[in-house]
Amino acid sequence: IPIPSFDEDLLIDLCAEVQQIFSKENNLLHLNGDVTVVGDIHGSFHDLLRILNFVSKSESKVLFLGDIVDRGEFSLECITILFALKTVYPDRYYIVRGNHEFDSLCSKYGFKNEILCMKKSQSLILHHENTEDSDNDQIFDGYLEYHNFPYCYKYTEKLYNTFIRVFSYLPIAALVNKTTFCIHGGLSPKLSHVSDIDELIQRPINSFESNQLLSDLLWSDPSPKIIALYDQNPRGQGFLFNNESIANFLRNNSLTRIIRAHQCVNKGYQVINGGKCLTIFSSSSYDKLTNNSSS
């Protein structure tokens, strides 16, 4: 069944409305009650629908830990659905920012091309225009297969820039039931107390490199094997942080655990440091070599 598209002006209006909602939320969300936490989606439409079907059977709030877009074939559909849900149910659906919700990554890993490729015809020449970029080839192959191009609207850079503008207002982290710290990436040596997130980061933010604390929060990864509290991250951004740094952060903030996303883990989740840190990843078959599950 072809996936429908929507008029560009309608999507721009949706972005304007949801931006107002995000702009009124704090950098650090405070959520109470039952909360379902979701990891990276990365344009995986079927995983998003599976998750939404699951949460529809309960009254829990839903927290998405960023990286909704890029890499997968249906980033536009995924972000549109979540923005629509946020607009209609602002006190149930929450989204914090991932490292991919920036122009510097969206321009490279698929979201921008996915929007602009709607300007093309169904000639299938699209994915041959950049033959050296195998990642984009795969994105466009899947996109062309499932979209009914004769009935698709033609989108422009104005729509892409509008989404990027909304991303700049996304909250950064969440505190759930005063016990659980939820973030896309991880910890930072610049983060002593969770209140620092509200005090030291001012939105809108167009580049993660403009704020070192933000960059660390979105890019860092746990690494129990390192000796130092924090060490260089092979990603080139953020830090690796060990079990001791996790324990120190939790103790200093009277918290019990960290839930984060950012890394593809084979079973969809990974328990670290006796449950004090949990990695979740919600895009299945993201790694074609391991055919990973999702949570």
Pull the structure tokens for residue 5.
Answer: 């598209």
Please list, residue by residue across 37-46, b when 16 or more beta carbons sit within 10 angstroms of its beta carbon and e when fewer do: bbbbbbbbbe
- Active-site option among 42, 100, 127, 147: 100
Cis peptide before 204 (omega within 30 of 0): yes
Cα distance between residue 269 and residue 293, in whole Å: 9
Instruction: Compute the radius of gyration of the chain from its Cα atoms.
Output: 19
Q: 100 an active-site residue?
A: yes
177: left (phi over 0), alpha (psi -120 to 50) or beta: left
Q: Which residues contact 213 (CB under 8 A, 6 or more apart)?
A: 188, 190, 191, 196, 197, 200, 201
Cα distance between residue 237 and residue 261, in whole Å: 16
Q: Which residues contact 86 (CB under 8 A, 6 or more apart)?
A: 18, 21, 22, 93, 94, 95
CB-CB neighbours of 260 under 10 Å: 26
Q: Name the residue among 82, 86, 102, 79 with its Cα closest to residue 25.
A: 86
Cα distance between residue 111 and residue 181, in whole Å: 28
Is residue 76 within 8 A of residue 146, CB to CB? The reply is no
| DSSP at 51 | H
Provide the annotated active-site residues: 100
